[in-house]
Structure 1
Amino acid sequence: MVDKEELKNLQEKTTSKELIKDLIKQIHEGKHPEEVKIKFRNILKNVGPTEIAKLEQELVNEGMPREEIRKLCSVHLAIFRESLDKQTVEVPTDHPIHVFMEEHKIILQHLEELKKIIQKVSAAESFEEVDGEMHKLKHIADHLMEVEKHNVREENVLFPYLQKHGITEPPAIMWAEHNELKEKKKQLLELVRVRDTLSFQDFKKQLADTGSYITDELSNHIYKENHILYPAAQRTIKAEEWKDIREQCDELGYCCFTPKYEKVGEEEVKKEELKSALEKGAIDFETGSLTKEEIEAVLNVLPVDISFVDAEDTVRYFNKAEGRVFPRTKAVIGRKVQQCHPPKSVHIVSQVLDDLKKGRRKSADFWIELNQRKIYIRYFPVRNQNGEYVGCVEVTQDITDIQNIKGERRLLNETQFK
């Protein structure tokens, strides 16, 4: 049974939550943020990052467009800043959040330098007056592109763990901001590259527009991650999961300016996890586990022909990709690979295999014309963890259509479904 005090606390918590959702809705309807802050001051001072993250999720579930929440995110920050400024994250120096936040400190330093350069360029009348700043600007533009490695770790490791624990909206908003900022950073780098082709006045205007956007938006983005995303992650993600997160971050790599910290050592696979995987018929890999059925389906769906020859040059496997370039039947399994090629090319096959076995080549690449299609054939040595040669994999692909790709496609092509 719930006693009266517990019931009262639960009711107060529910009431506060609904009031906060109501104030966010009022802001979206046009109410002035300061007016809302005064009205809800007592409630706002106790709002934490996890509550904000979950409230945004609930508002989206109730029908509020995600893009609308993202556009007014800065207004939300103004409302909650008093409580968010109190939020601190205390973690060991090798913790992923600590590494992310240390990178943020360095990024903010670059943004301050960028602001100073923009101011000096704005006050100048020619490139000659700011020659030193141009060298600094190139350095900053390069380092801002390095931030993509920081973002890749968030998008591919931290965000999925948050989403697994039910926090989906903040990661989605942060990812959208990553994409917008990436385009602006690319514009800045391109502006630096082509500055000699521009008039100084044109360069000055573009630098002010692009640079100011980056300094303002990236600073706000970092504040949101430091005061909402990371505290919510620290309180939500389990302690044992952070070791996996750090190892996965290590695999993806760091920025050129990331401070060096001792890496988390490789952990032995827990016996119960291995037992569970085996009971399900899964094969346990270093990066996950798959059943035999899943492995076969994955290999067959790849848009390439794959054949594997073992260390004794015996054909052991081929996939059944749709529309294989070179037909294969089970009759080739167990045969020497030299017997699967025309006599005139056997010496080439033997030479390739010998080079791969002895490490003289990292790969062997060929391309041919077949039925007016360009076919790309590649051979790679396969080695175990001790570096011992265990075989060769042949990958064949029709690259005709790939060679014709121009520009970019970022949206789904609906005609593919017709």
Structure 2
Amino acid sequence: MHASLFGGSIEAVYTTSAEQQHAGHPIQIMKLENLAIENTLEKVSKLLAVYLETKEPTLKEGIQKQLALLGEFDKHYARKEYAIFPIMENKGITAPPKVMWGVDDDIRAMYKGFKTLLQKEDFAAIPKAFSDLKYEMTEMITKEEDILLPMIIDIFNEDHWLQIAEESEEIGYCIVKPEAKWVPERSLPENVSHETQTIEANPYINFQTGHLTPHQLEKMLNNIPLELTFVDADNIVRYYNDNGEEKFFKRTSSAIGRDVLNCHPPKSLPIVTKLLADLKSGAKESESMWFRAMGKFILVTYRAVRDDDGNYMGTLEYVQDIQPIIDLDGEKRTLS
């Protein structure tokens, strides 16, 4: 990743404020996790060197345990992609997040590839695969601390860091957990662009088939066993539901008001762009995909939403685990 994309030198110097040095601040969490990633890589490296000589099964098990721990780097990267990058884009910094996200995905693929080689005991390919993975992960640590942080530290205000800290809780942490919850002296965010306004009045919303209060509608949508996301006709993310459970596709409040194309890794942009164009033009009214991931059988459906005159209003995405449905057998006509 070229430093020129970040508008400055890789030797950029920056200082953190006293507030940013507190335990639990997103900057401190990023640095602590990077240390943990480096330490875990070193443990894998030492175990692997002995394992390649002895082929001892217990060493392989030890490596796999360390790899499971190392795999939490995905949460570290996800916090950049879903909590930090949206704010950068709002500040007009668009190219660096796309480049870094692409490298993040390359590292994810390298990690999965190395795990597969280890499982298959492909001793000829294992050394280079791990060497490449370790190099790229170490390089990413340098890019985060010497390029990314210097770029954002002076343009992110306390409100932004509070937003990132809150969304980090949703996404999760990597290897180490925060020592404490960061609570600045002024803990109430102000003027964060994506925040929804408090509804003082609570009138009914009238539909053709009934009426609901906003509170009832929100709770009803959050209880639907689907992950719902609505993107408007201009490809702006306007809504997602939240039942408090871990999502198949990560969503944070930073996504609201964001171009949906910026919510996806670079490698998937051609598919997303074509899908939205087809739904908007009427070439398709819906599209479904299904695959296995996270121990589940996931069905994703995209459906065009149109007004009474057929004008395109946006796209509704809904995601569900259909494995429990597939596993159904016989009939159930009585209460449990």
TM-score (norm 2): 0.54
Which position in structure 2 is the counterpart of 1:97? 27
Q: CA deviation at 1:181?
A: 0.6
Which position in structure 1 is the counterpart of 2:236? none
Give the distance between the partners of 2:188 and 2:211, measured in 1 at CA. Answer: 36
Q: CA deviation at 1:215?
A: 0.3
Give the distance between the partners of 1:264 and 1:191, measured in 2 at CA. Answer: 44
Which position in structure 2 is the counterpart of 1:53? 6
Superposed, 1:361-400 pairs within 5 Å as: none
- Residue 127 (str. 1) matches residue 80 (str. 2): no
SS at 1:204 equivalent = coil
SS at 1:236 equivalent = coil
Which position in structure 2 is the counterpart of 1:187? 113
Superposed, 1:15-414 pairs within 5 Å as: 53-54=6-7, 83-84=11-12, 89=16, 91-92=20-21, 93-122=23-52, 124=53, 126-128=54-56, 131-192=57-118, 194-195=119-120, 198=121, 203-264=122-183, 267-268=187-188, 283-284=197-198, 330=209, 411-412=270-271, 414=274
Give the distance between the partners of 1:89 and 1:283, measured in 2 at CA. Answer: 32
Opposite residue 127 of structure 1, the aligned amino acid is K
Give the distance between the partners of 2:181 and 2:197, measured in 1 at CA. Answer: 31
1:48-80: CA deviation from partner (whole Å, max 9, x where unpaired): x8x87226xxxxxxxxxxxxxxxxxxxxxxxx5
Give the distance between the partners of 1:52 and 1:179, measured in 2 at CA. Answer: 18
- Report how many aligned residue pairs link the two structures: 220
Of Structure 1 and Structure 2, the greater helix share is in 1
> 1:115 and 1:248, CA in 2 relative to 1: closer, same or farther beyond 3 A?
same
> 1:138 and 1:412, CA in 2 relative to 1: closer, same or farther beyond 3 A?
same
Give the distance between the partners of 1:317 and 1:262, measured in 2 at CA. Answer: 38
The percentage of aligned residue pairs carrying the same residue is: 21
Opposite residue 42 of structure 2, the aligned amino acid is E
1:70-127: CA deviation from partner (whole Å, max 9, x where unpaired): xxxxxxxxxx56x34x6565632222111101100000111122222343344x1x52
Q: CA deviation at 1:244?
A: 2.0
Q: CA deviation at 1:269?
A: 6.3
Q: CA deviation at 1:204?
A: 1.6
Give the distance between the partners of 2:158 and 2:189, measured in 1 at CA. Answer: 17
> 1:205 and 1:259, CA in 2 relative to 1: closer, same or farther beyond 3 A?
farther
- The question of whether the paired residues in 2 share the 8 Å contact of 1:162 and 1:233 is answered with yes
> 1:254 and 1:318, CA in 2 relative to 1: closer, same or farther beyond 3 A?
farther
Give the distance between the partners of 2:224 and 2:145, measured in 1 at CA. Answer: 48
- The question of whether the paired residues in 2 share the 8 Å contact of 1:155 and 1:175 is answered with yes
SS at 2:146 equivalent = helix
SS at 2:198 equivalent = strand
- Higher RCO (CA-CA < 8 Å; seq separation 6+): 2
> 1:120 and 1:94, CA in 2 relative to 1: closer, same or farther beyond 3 A?
same
Q: Which has the larger radius of gyration?
A: 1
Give the distance between the partners of 1:220 and 1:237, measured in 2 at CA. Answer: 24
SS at 1:260 equivalent = coil
Q: CA deviation at 1:236?
A: 1.9
Q: CA deviation at 1:167?
A: 2.4
1:348-369: CA deviation from partner (whole Å, max 9, x where unpaired): xxxxxxxxxxxxxx9899xxxx
Structure 1 runs not aligned, ≥5 long: 1-27, 29-48, 56-79, 286-291, 293-315, 320-328, 335-361, 366-381, 384-408
1:303-325: CA deviation from partner (whole Å, max 9, x where unpaired): xxxxxxxxxxxxx8897xxxxxx
Give the distance between the partners of 2:5 and 2:224, measured in 1 at CA. Answer: 54
1:327-385: CA deviation from partner (whole Å, max 9, x where unpaired): xx53x669xxxxxxxxxxxxxxxxxxxxxxxxxxx9899xxxxxxxxxxxxxxxx99xx
Q: CA deviation at 1:411?
A: 5.0
TM-score (norm 1): 0.44
Opposite residue 284 of structure 1, the aligned amino acid is T
Which position in structure 2 is the counterpart of 1:23? none
Give the distance between the partners of 2:27 and 2:192, measured in 1 at CA. Answer: 26
Q: CA deviation at 1:139?
A: 1.6
- The question of whether the paired residues in 2 share the 8 Å contact of 1:144 and 1:185 is answered with no
- The question of whether the paired residues in 2 share the 8 Å contact of 1:246 and 1:264 is answered with no
